[in-house]
């Protein structure tokens, strides 16, 4: 039998070596492919407007205007203005009626979209690559010459109020995350919701929207980005031609991001008519340019995402997913790492049956403490691969690439090359994950937001007391044994 075992081992060894060589070859090819990705070119015009593009061999392209404007630049009196402008932006310009604008875009087979976030507003267009010049002109017209008449504003107001009701009734994830921001960053502008309160929506007028556009739509706060079969030199000429008249100076003080302050606290909206409890728990993370952001993203990937409709939950590499599937702790959970200019939220959102709130939260916090103290190299390697897969999948196609360019250039002034990002992820070790977990999670006051039948959710002080483990060091343990 011993000889058979030795023979079996000898036979397996070449296969293992071949597998190692294959893995090494694949890793080298992967790194080479990333290094050969086309670079993102960025140019700053004299007005301060930045032009950025990436050439992608495709018949379709996406071009967009990205602006430093959003809910975080608002206060309690005008919160909701940026989102309101989104709803009237495509209702026509001083040069084009709404029907003429829609017909012109439709005849090209293009799609226009406006999106508002907490720190950015984007105007994007998907089109054939040959139509990029025309779409740049249309986007410039929409931003510089919005019509903003009273009739359009009145209709948009009714639409927005209806959408707010729909979100509150049907998109509880967004509601909970809004509550999470409201309690975590209370007293600061980052607590503002994108929608704004209904009272503000009812009072916003056309002049308010014109004032908003005049204050924020300035060249130094804009990025014209494109991805597809486009050339940087041509995009620069288009920017000069159609956006050259955008003002670069401000009447008074330029809009600035106010300082933020994280507050460990909670917000609960108990509603027993809702069948499931929706809960989010988070600690303060780091800003988008912080050196810890990659390690925190790996830590988030290690916790993972799970839904009970997924197959093989009990065989998942995520320990929290295994516990959730085996003990039916929740319907789904999602670990997140939200980053802003100077801060962030690192945490988890889950949906569970009312009587499972306590057990689910116990397992979540237990896993967080394990991140701080016992996470292994193998787990981190798996999480790094998952993170790289997810990030690369999110950059599939010109549309995703264009939005990533606009976001990064606005926040960082440049776009990080994929091979640099891959290298930063690959350099994260288990020790790095434990270090950032100790820094941001261990013994930190969390923010909690919960909606639905949440009576079984532990009170805040119990949640706070589970944010650390009391453990004896080896020397203290030996000392107590002798005593």
> Catalytic site residues?
86
Query: How far apart (Å, rounded) are the C-alpha atoms in residues 359 and 459?
Result: 13
Within 10 Å of residue 394's Cβ, how many Cβ atoms?
11
Alpha helices for 37-115 (secondary structure H):
81-88, 98-107
E strands, 24-160, are 41-44, 50-55, 60-67, 111-116, 121-128
428, 294 contact by CB (below 8 A): yes
Query: How far apart (Å, rounded) are the C-alpha atoms in residues 250 and 95?
Result: 25
Query: How far apart (Å, rounded) are the C-alpha atoms in residues 409 and 405?
Result: 6
Assign 228 to helix, strand or coil.
Answer: strand
Q: CB-based burial of residue 75 (10 Å sphere; 0-12 exposed, 13-18 middle, 19+ buried)?
A: exposed
Helices (H) and strands (E) in the chain, counts: 18, 12
436, 295 contact by CB (below 8 A): yes
Q: Which of 230, 221, 292 is nearest to 257 (CA)?
A: 221
- Which residues in 231-264 are b (16+ Cβ under 10 Å) and which e? ebeebbebbeebbeebeeeeeeeebebeebebeb
Q: What angle do CA 231, 237, 238 make, to 5 degrees?
A: 90
């Amino acid at each position: 039998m011993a000889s058979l075992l030795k023979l079996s081992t000898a036979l397996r060894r070449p296969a293992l070596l071949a597998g190692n060589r294959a893995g090494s070859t694949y890793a080298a090819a992967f790194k080479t492919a990333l290094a050969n990705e086309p670079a993102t070119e960025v140019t700053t015009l004299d007005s301060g407007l930045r032009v950025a593009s990436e050439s992608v061999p495709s018949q379709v392209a996406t071009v967009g205007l990205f602006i430093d404007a959003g809910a975080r630049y608002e206060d309690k009196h005008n919160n909701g203005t940026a989102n309101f402008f989104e709803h009237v932006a495509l209702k026509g310009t001083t040069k084009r009626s709404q029907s003429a604008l829609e017909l012109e875009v439709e005849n090209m087979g293009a799609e226009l979209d406006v999106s508002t976030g907490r720190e950015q507003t984007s105007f994007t267009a998907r089109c054939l690559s040959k139509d990029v010049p025309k779409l740049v002109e249309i986007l410039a017209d929409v931003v510089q010459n919005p019509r903003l008449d009273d009739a359009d504003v009145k209709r948009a107001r009714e639409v927005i109020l209806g959408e707010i009701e729909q979100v509150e009734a049907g998109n509880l994830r967004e509601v909970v995350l809004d509550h999470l921001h409201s309690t975590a960053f209370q007293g600061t502008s980052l607590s503002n919701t994108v929608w704004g309160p209904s009272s503000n929506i009812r009072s916003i007028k056309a002049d308010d929207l014109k004032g908003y556009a005049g204050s924020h739509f300035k060249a130094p706060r804009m990025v014209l980005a494109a991805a597809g079969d486009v050339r940087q030199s041509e995009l620069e000429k288009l920017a000069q031609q159609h956006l050259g008249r955008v003002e670069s100076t401000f009447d008074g003080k330029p809009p600035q991001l106010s300082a933020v302050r994280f507050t460990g606290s909670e917000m609960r909206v108990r509603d027993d008519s809702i069948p499931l409890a929706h809960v989010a728990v988070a600690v303060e993370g780091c800003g988008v340019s912080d050196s810890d952001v990659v390690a925190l993203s790996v830590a988030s990937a290690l916790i993972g995402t799970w839904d009970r409709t997924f197959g093989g939950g009990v065989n998942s590499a995520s320990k929290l997913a295994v516990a959730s599937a085996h003990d039916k702790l929740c319907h789904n959970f999602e670990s997140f790492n939200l980053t802003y200019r100077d801060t962030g939220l690192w945490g988890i959102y889950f949906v569970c049956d009312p009587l499972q709130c306590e057990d689910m939260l116990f397992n979540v916090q237990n896993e967080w403490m394990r991140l701080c103290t016992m996470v292994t190299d193998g787990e981190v390697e798996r999480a790094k691969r998952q993170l790289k897969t997810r990030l690369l999948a999110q950059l599939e196609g010109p549309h995703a690439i264009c939005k990533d360019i606009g976001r990064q250039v606005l926040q960082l002034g440049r776009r990080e090359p994929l091979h640099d990002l891959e290298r930063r992820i690959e350099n994260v070790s288990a020790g790095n994950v434990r270090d950032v977990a100790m820094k941001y999670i261990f013994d930190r006051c969390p923010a909690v937001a919960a909606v639905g039948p949440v009576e079984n959710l532990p009170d805040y002080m119990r949640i706070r007391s589970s944010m650390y483990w009391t453990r004896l060091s080896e020397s203290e343990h030996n000392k107590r044994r002798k005593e």
